[in-house]
A and B are shown apart, each in its own frame.
Chain A
C-alpha cells in the first residue's frame, strides 16, 4: 500500500508514527531493516505496555516483520518520564 518497494528509513518511520498516534513524538534509529523507536505519546497513558506497543505496531500493519524486518519499541507517556 504505502511506500512498498523502497527501503524503509528511520525518518519515514518517525513521520508515520507521529502521524498515526495523536500527539506522539518519536525518535527512530535504524539501518533500513532493524529499527528502534522511542515513542512518547499522551495516548499511551493508562494503557498496558502491550497495548502501547500494539498502537505503534498498528501504524505499520503487515509491514512489521516484512519490509520493516524488526522494530524495537520503547514507549513513554510523557517527556519527563524516566527512561528506567
Chain B
C-alpha cells in the first residue's frame, strides 16, 4: 500500500512540474504586461501537435523536435504579440482578453479542421527506471527533468542577462524603463514570445507522456489558471509551487473522497485565494 502511494505520488509530482512550466508562461505574460493570455490552451496544443508531427512524419527524436518547437513558439509569440496584443496593450483588460481569445478561436478552428478532435499518441517509450522499490516511467522522468531544466534556464535568462533585466524593468515600471532607453515594445514582444514558448514546450513535453488532442490544451489552461493564482499572478517561481500544490490535491484527495470532487476543491480554493490572498501564497502585498 505504502509503495503504491509513493509511486503514484511520485508519478503525479513528475507531471506537476510540467503543469508548473505551462503556468509559468501564463504568469510571465501577466506579470510583464497585465495581459491574461486566453490563447494559452491552444498554444499548449500547438506544442503537442508540433512534436507529434515532427516525430511521426520526420522521425525526429521528441526532444530534438521540442527544440525546434521552442524556436517556432518564440516566433509565433512575436507574431501574435504584434498582430493581436500590441494595439490593445494600454486598453482596458477586456480588449486584450478578447483579442487573445480571438487567437484562441483561430488556432482551435484551424486545428479542428485539419486534425479533427480525435486523440493522437506519440509512440515513444524510454522504458522505466527503478529506484529501490519503486519504478518511474522513463519518458515521464525525462519530461520532468526537461521541464526543470527549462525553468532553470528561464531563471538564468531573467536574472543574468541584459534582455532578462530589461524584461524585469519593463514589468516593474514601463514608463521609467522607457526613460532609461529600453525599447519597451520590443521587450514586451520578447516577453510574450517567451511566455508562448513556455506553453509550447510544456505542450510538447505533455505529448511525450499522455495522449493528445487539439482541445486538450483547454484543460491545461484551466489548470494553469489555478496554479498561477495559487502562486500569485505574475510570479514565475510561485507557478512551480502552485503546480506542486495542485499535484498534492490531485494525489491526496482521491484517497479520502471520490475523484470527481477534485475539481470542486481546486476551483473553490482558486476563488478563495483570489478573495483572501490575491497576491498568491508567495506574493507580497503591493
* A joins B in a complex: no
A interface residues, Cβ below 8 angstroms from B: none
